[in-house]
Amino acid sequence: MNGNKELDRYSVESGNVFRIPENFDHSYKRGYLFECWTSNGKPVGNVFVVNKNFTLRAQYKALPKLIEDDKPASIRDVIVLLQYTSKVGVFGNLSNEEMVAKGADLDGDGKVDIVDVIIYLKSV
């Protein structure tokens, strides 16, 4: 589920493994990143044993604001992130670690690069 919108329904016998399909999609939520699926408020992995009826809910987190002003995350943040990957712009002189500390490592691989730019752009 995403909010109160039911996206899909599956039937799994108790005791069997449920694997979240790779194409199992969550809705776009402007300004937020999909973080994980949860059941009863707890994050779940992509594969788990089913013991009772459950509802998966998408959990999101707000996009990190890179430009520190009072405006919401926007295409301007995407542009400065893209510029950073070419070592130009307002963040051009920052280290990878400084960009990670700003929350720009959106895929959590320890590097701030074009993949993070794409993820940001898809979520803004």
Site residues (vs Ca ion, CB under 5 A): 105, 107, 109, 111, 116
CB of 106 to Ca ion, least distance (A): 6
Compute CA distances 26 → 12, 67, 71, whole Å: 20, 27, 26
Q: Which C-beta is closer to Ca ion: that of 37 or that of 84?
A: 84
Which residue lies nearer to Ca ion by CB, 50 or 118? 118
What is the C-alpha to C-alpha distance for residues 94 and 28, in angstroms, rounded to an integer? 30
Q: Which residues contact 101 (CB under 8 A, 6 or more apart)?
A: none
Nearer CB in complex with Ca ion: 55/107: 107
Least Cβ distance, residue 116 to Ca ion (angstroms): 4
Taking the least distance from each CB to Ca ion, the nearer of 102 and 111 is 111
Residue 31 CB, shortest distance to Ca ion, in Å, is: 19
Identify the CA nearest to 116 among candidates 75, 76, 85: 85
Element (H, E) at 35: strand 32-39
- CA-nearest of 104, 106, 101, 100 to 77 is 104
Shortest distance, position 35 Cβ to Ca ion, whole Å: 15
